[in-house]
Structure 1
């Protein structure tokens, strides 16, 4: 969807349901490579700008065009970010930066929209088993081992599911009526505990 399509898409949504009071935004694509070392300046800048447009500007414009309606219904906005905006990730500078921008944006937006009783929150999922995760794993030397490594990254010993993400969205949209400006981490405990973190001799094909 192009930026110019956002207003008409939202208009159709709100015309279909005048009482609609929730908007959920999710945009982004992860490209893991050494952009700081292997890309020329012009190419690296263009890649960064493109991902910023996709992950951040699209969410901003969706909110901008939805807010006149959401202010009337005292609705809420939920942006999907990523756990990596909290803990960082190897070889993913643009992706991490754009997801960090999303969580920073919802805090500022929550302040501005509080006078209209519009809540603005975000969710930061960790490893969620999706077709994109499967595709990334398939490009490594040992996909089965990569998938197991992804599971082992969580204290719960598995990846999350899209259904669990949906449940978190429903919680923020419906039950979390006293929450605004928060970033809900949905990670299975991946960010907790000490671990071996030196990458000086790392030869892993995939950093998930």
Structure 2
């Protein structure tokens, strides 16, 4: 077996109990890291902690945390330093994709709430972790989304938060280069997670929605939670000359032409 690639490094993962976050926590523990991860609900986090710790070679600690609250973010960082003495890597992953909704039907408060969770939490966690990351010449990994670059129908607030994460990554990479802290971003496309399954279930034909999701990639399938974890591990452990990049984890979904017009067809337009 290959030696662990992140042995004894201390990693904080937000939103780590399910989906992409779960994949990231699992891969880092499998590669020898000491991981502190958080989520709002305790059951899934405690279950993952109990599952991973006996396997090693790393370890993990779960803490319940609401990433829309600054005091909870501070508690997360403080807990990590008290437990392990330092921080080598912060993975900002906590976030939510609301059900698709037209702009006309979206309230300002809904937009503000999503900004707090998907974007402001990334800024605050980075700000509070940076004094410790600078001591270790560590790194930050921000989980964005492919749609932050290419857009998505009926999801303007979500796309705005993810696009801002990409831009903030680049700006913070500039600022933190003086401290040799790298700041990078990973932008997954369609990844099979509980959230994807939940959103598909809300459509009129869930099976068709899943099939469409699979067919959106050149590789003909969705990504996996583990592949997201491996991408994060690459940025943390191997990509030592990369900062300010946005790594597309998309299976080629952004490539090639496809029928995308939402305009009426000529025939429909001519019916009187």
Q: TM-score, normalised by structure 1?
A: 0.92
Structure 1: gaps (5+ residues): 203-208
- Aligned with 2:183 (options 120, 127, 137): 120
Instruction: Give me the CA root mean square deviation.
Output: 1.3
Asked whether the 8 Å contact 2:147–2:189 carries over to 1, the reply is: yes
Counterparts of residues 1-208 of structure 1 (less than 5 Å) = 1=66, 2-39=69-106, 44-201=107-264
Name the count of aligned residue pairs: 198
Superposed CA offset, 1:175-201 (max 9, x none): 000000001000000000011011235
Which of 1 and 2 has greater Rg?
2
Structure 2: gaps (5+ residues): 1-65, 266-272
Measure the CA separation in 1 of the matches of 2:77 and 2:103. 38
Residue in 2 that maps onto 1:206:
none
Measure the CA separation in 2 of the matches of 1:59 and 1:51. 12
Measure the CA separation in 2 of the matches of 1:190 and 1:145. 18
Instruction: Indicate the structure whose relative CO is greater, using CA pairs within 8 Å and at least 6 residues apart.
Output: 1
Superposed CA offset, 1:1-46 (max 9, x none): 122111121111122222430000112211244442224xxxx211
After TM superposition, where is structure 1 displaced by more than 4 Å over at least 4 residues in a row?
A: none
